[in-house]
Amino acid sequence: MENLGSAKWPTLRSYVICYALYIGLIIPGTIAVFLIWRSAILAVLAAFMARSQANRLIYLASMALLGLGAFILVMAAEPYLRNGLQRQKLMLRFRKLATPLVIGGVLGLLVLTLV
């Protein structure tokens, strides 16, 4: 039988760290989606589809998909990080969430510089 008395419960300090990391995901994610990728999409549309009728649809659809992806990430990240805190895997889980955001931001900046 398990010894439940030896389980280490997270402290207030641990929760503050957890939610600081959560905010640390939200802010760069928002910057990557709505600043970097917005500009990258506009640059790609201007470069390859100069005055096409489809520009507006492509822009709106891509921004809606990026916004939906960011919303899903934000909604899923909080319980994922909180459970990682309880299992003492907070930093591992944070890295798993932050890595795609960093890669996405770098790719967006790369698109901006190449186009």
DSSP symbol at 54: T
Give the count of domains, the chain. 1
Structural tokens at position 27: 């802010």
Asked, for residue 108, whether it belongs to a domain, the answer is: yes
CB 43 within 8 A of CB 111: yes
**Cα dihedral sign, 72-104-67-29:** positive
Asked, for residue 110, whether it belongs to a domain, the answer is: yes
- Among 32-41, 47-56, 89-98, top mean pLDDT goes to 89-98
Q: How far is CA 69 from the centre of its chain?
A: 8
DSSP symbol at 8: P
Count of beta carbons in the 10 Å neighbourhood of residue 37: 23
Residues whose CB falls within 8 Å of the CB of residue 103, separated by 6 or more in sequence, listed in order: none
Structural tokens at position 99: 């890595």
Domain that holds residue 89: 11-114
Asked, for residue 6, whether it belongs to a domain, the answer is: no
What is the per-residue pLDDT for 65? 92
Q: What is the pLDDT of residues 65-113, one digit of tens each?
A: 988 988 898 889 999 999 998 888 999 999 999 998 888 889 989 998 9
